[in-house]
Chains A and B, each alone.
Chain A
Amino acid sequence: MTELRRADVAIVGAGPAGMAAAVRLAEAGLRPVVFDLNATPGGQVYRQLGDPQVDAVVMGEDYLRGRTLVETFTRADIDYRPLSRVWWLGRESTGYALGVITQQGAQSWHVDRLILASGAMERGWPFSGWQLPGVMTAGAAQILLKQGALVPCTSAVLAGSGPLLYLLAWQYLRAGQPPALVLDLAPESGYRALLRQPLNAWRGRGYLLKGLRMVAALRRAGIPVLQGVDGLQAEGENAVERVRYRHRGSWKTLPASLLLTHFGVVPEPQLARSLNLPHGWETGQQSFLPSRSETLAADERLWIAGDGGGIGGALNAEREGCLAALDVLASLDIETPDALGWERQALQHARHRDLEARRLLETLFRLPVDWLDLQPEDTLICRCESVSRGEVEHAIAQGAAGPNQLKAFTRCGMGPCQGRQCGESIARLLARRTSQPLDTIGYYHIRPPVHSVTLGELASQQDT
């Protein structure tokens, strides 16, 4: 018979939110099980921090800030299971059922309470040639830096919109491999809007100063930083050979072999979507977000903490992990409501202050809503199934009414990434062509397995 494993609380993800939640639960005497995709704790932001390959001189202080949390998590009595893929979630009357592929094989779990802390991903943002080898995300470049102090052998071109772009440029400068050029695709209106929102600018002054310091360091080092870029293309036969960009109305071409892009981060949607949780389009973050209560609960036995519920950054994710843990403890009557109340109030206060400050980033790095319209017709929207914008538009004109019909018409979203890269673009295209709000358009219906698993892995179910 197949063994069904049980736990009071399971946490999916060992980034700042998942680690903080697990640590807080362990402090209260629980022993949560934590499933994580990676080999070591930290998530993307604190990756490899247990055995860092680069220090604060290269990475900046923010990376090292997570060290205490990683160490506390590592020492605490937590059932931590790295290299585990939660490929299936099922809602049951007494909790949640989980299908997990671990290093030891396939496992089935039943847990009374579940915290999703599966984090964010780089936004899929199509432009001509983005499928060419030599185009990578800024997040990927940072992963290489953290994992093995890896920097490119040649000077990269960095392009996109968001703080991570400048952070990576600064880190490459510190690591001895400055970028050739930084192309800022944030609309210039964002900087003008800042002047009209002095309160937001004040609340976000910490972010603003950090950014200005990084840009100043880049300029001092002689790295060209172009603002007001509104077109981007990668060209080449089997890999990137040239980067084309439009700056103040005219196209320019630059020989380059590596283009690192960043268009913001969005919640990794698969597990929340696979449960059919309600989602809404959030115009500030320009993204679908799962609905959560003030206590981060998505239902009476499910919580969503950290960037998987909405982008708030690493410190906010840590707070949200604690908040979710506190609500779990309250639901179990483990700690007195009074003690929990004070802790919760302080965390909520800090959380709201932080999220207010982030409005500045949302204003500054707003992505243009007509971006897809401006891309050539043969630009791939779905990379996995190689479906172009032209093909998607044609299917919409033929009457494909929603994301799931478009999938049936064109195969978009049916490849191995399961729509993670194209889901937002498909919804955006449908919304524009059919003049409907994004909330009406909705998203792909996500079904398990939400990770790629082989039949062999499923058959490796451990029997007792």
Chain B
Amino acid sequence: MFRRSERACQAARQVQVRVDGVTMSVPDTLSVAAAVLQVHGWQGYRRHHDGSSRAPLCLMGVCHECLITIDGQPNRQGCLVPVAEGMHIERQGGERHD
């Protein structure tokens, strides 16, 4: 998991998002992938079509390992979508998403 460093130079403005049905508060500057890494870490992030567990690698739009369901739309690149108030995020850790 990741946490906000105590050396951050300002207080974070928070937004409320739902991650797998649970409402959570995260800094509004984060991408969806970064927010999930903060609240849940890399474990259980995504199940690949070969059945293996995967999680974000690059966070800059290249690797496509951060695919995630956002507001009902599956396989979005979580690192390229900023969090927004009321957003529904669902990890694709269970069944396969081809």
Q: A175 on the interface (CB 8 Å rule)?
A: yes
Given A147-B34, A153-B1, A239-B53, A121 contacting B60 (CB threshold 8 A): yes
Decide if A136 touches B57 in the complex (CB within 8 Å): yes
> Which residues of A are found within 8 Å of B6, using beta-carbon distances?
176
- Secondary structure of the A contact surface, majority rule: loop
Q: Complex Cα distance A176/B77, Å?
A: 30
> Which residues of B are found within 8 Å of A421, using beta-carbon distances?
57, 62-63
Q: B38 on the interface (CB 8 Å rule)?
A: yes
When A and B form their complex, what is the total count of cross-chain residue pairs whose Cβ atoms lie within 8 Å? 149
> Which residues of B are found within 8 Å of A39, using beta-carbon distances?
82
- Secondary structure of the B contact surface, majority rule: loop
Q: B86 on the interface (CB 8 Å rule)?
A: no
Residue of B nearest to A133 (CB): B55
Q: Complex Cα distance A131/B46, Å?
A: 12
Give A residues with C-beta under 8 Å from B.
37-39, 44, 48, 51-55, 57-58, 83, 85, 121-122, 131-137, 139-140, 143-145, 147-153, 174-177, 238-239, 258, 268, 383-384, 386, 415-417, 420-421, 451-452, 454
Further pairs besides A37-B80, A38-B80, A148-B4: 8, Cβ < 8 Å: A53-B27, A134-B55, A147-B29, A148-B34, A149-B4, A416-B67, A452-B75, A452-B77
Sort chain B's interface into a size bin: 35 or more
Interface string of B28-60 (1 = CB under 8 A from A): 011100100110011101001010111111111
Q: Complex Cα distance A44/B79, Å?
A: 12
With both chains docked as a complex, state the minimum distance between the C-beta of A157 and any C-beta of chain B, in angstroms. Answer: 14
> Which residues of A are found within 8 Å of B64, using beta-carbon distances?
384, 415-417, 452
With both chains docked as a complex, state the minimum distance between the C-beta of A21 and any C-beta of chain B, in angstroms. Answer: 20
Given A51-B29, A147-B30, A136 contacting B56 (CB threshold 8 A): yes
Decide if A54 touches B1 in the complex (CB within 8 Å): no
With both chains docked as a complex, state the minimum distance between the C-beta of B56 and any C-beta of chain A, in angstroms. Answer: 6
Q: List 22 A-B contacts (CB under 8 A).
A: A37-B80, A38-B80, A55-B9, A57-B7, A133-B54, A133-B55, A134-B55, A135-B57, A139-B60, A140-B60, A144-B2, A144-B37, A147-B34, A148-B8, A148-B30, A149-B5, A150-B34, A153-B1, A386-B50, A415-B64, A452-B77, A454-B73
